[in-house]
Amino acid sequence: MSAVESNLHVVLGAGPAGTTLAAELARRGHAVRLVDRAGSGDAPEGVQRFAADVSTPEGALAAVAGAAVVYHCVNVGYHLQVEVMPRIQRAVLAAVENTGARLVVLDSLYPYGETRGDVMTEDTPWRATTRKGRMRARLDEVYLAAHREGRARVVLGRSADFVGPGVLNSTLGGAVFPAALTGGEVLGLGDIDLPHSYTDIGDVAAGLATLGERPEGDGRVWHLPTAPAVTTREIHTMIQERVGGPFTTVVLAESRPFGPFDEVFMDEYAEMFYQHTEPQIVDSSAFERTFGVRPTPLSVTLDSTLDWYRGLLALPRG
């Protein structure tokens, strides 16, 4: 069966984004293969687990075999990204060029670099100066060139920081919600009175699935549906209202270890800390107008996230 005839959607990466996307695609009636190096563990209903190392040409080719659409949601340890992500790109891009599958890439805001608080749209210039920002920009240039030259059909979906059920390693994740629920110390980074955009993990999944189903969006970058930015302090207030009382916020003026973020991670994150010393405002109106998809209200996101963390904290330890 050719990629054109197939209904198979292959998700590369079984982190929060990949797993949530796999569930969304299955809900929409697609056959779904969820790929990571282990190929084991729980899978959403209707989703097949598959083991492959997509940083190798043979692993990537095996992973995408028979797919109509491939979603690249793979991530690696923060300190390994500059070295490993280009290798994954080469293998995955070669695989879809070989098979003819369309490629949907989950992307970040890093290529924009410092914006001095300007609202980010898809027309914002790419001015990254950090190692990871320049790396992401180079990857995106290669993806778009492959599409432009007719070697592959590619589309990129950019997200702000994740928030939502299953999201742990985010600045609005495991360093915030467990402490808010248990009376611990909640993390705030930089200037918490600046607006900062967060993208609901469910909207990441819905946005990527929509791009996978709508090839008219190919060949460009889209901002995935993202709720209007508010300040971190406002978010903390909304959480306090939901947990029934105040909590202690620890604000870090610079990148240093805290809670789930160890020294290795925070040393690597230091170059990206500008994201918390200037407004980070994402405009997703182009996606919303084109595809008729609206972002989840932040209030709903916080409710569902707190519910998920309550369940996580209730699990037996050991």
Q: What is this structure's pTM? A: 0.96
Q: Is 80 exposed, middle or buried (0-12, 13-18, 19+ CB in 10 A)?
A: exposed
Assigned token pair, 94: 């070669």
DSSP 3-state of 304: helix
pLDDT in tens, 267-294: 999 999 999 999 999 999 999 999 999 9
**Cα(59)–Cα(235) distance, integer angstroms:** 42
First to last CA, the chain: 46
Mean pLDDT per 10-residue interval, the chain, length 318 residues: 71 97 97 94 90 97 98 95 97 98 98 97 98 98 98 98 96 96 95 98 98 98 98 97 93 93 94 97 98 97 98 84
Assigned token pair, 138: 């180079």
Query: Widest CA span of the chain, in angstroms?
Result: 58
**Cα(104)–Cα(154) distance, integer angstroms:** 6
**Cα(31)–Cα(310) distance, integer angstroms:** 32
Instruction: Say what the pLDDT of residue 318 is.
Output: 57
Q: What are phi and psi of 286, to 5 degrees?
A: -65, -45
Task: Name residue, tokens 């569902």.
Answer: 304
Instruction: Say what the pLDDT of residue 176 is.
Output: 97
Instruction: Say what the pLDDT of residue 1 is.
Output: 45
C-alpha angle 240/246/251, rounded to 5°? Answer: 90
Q: Specify whether the CB–CB gap between 17 and 204 falls below 8 A.
A: yes
Q: Specify whether the CB–CB gap between 9 and 68 falls below 8 A.
A: yes
DSSP 3-state of 233: helix
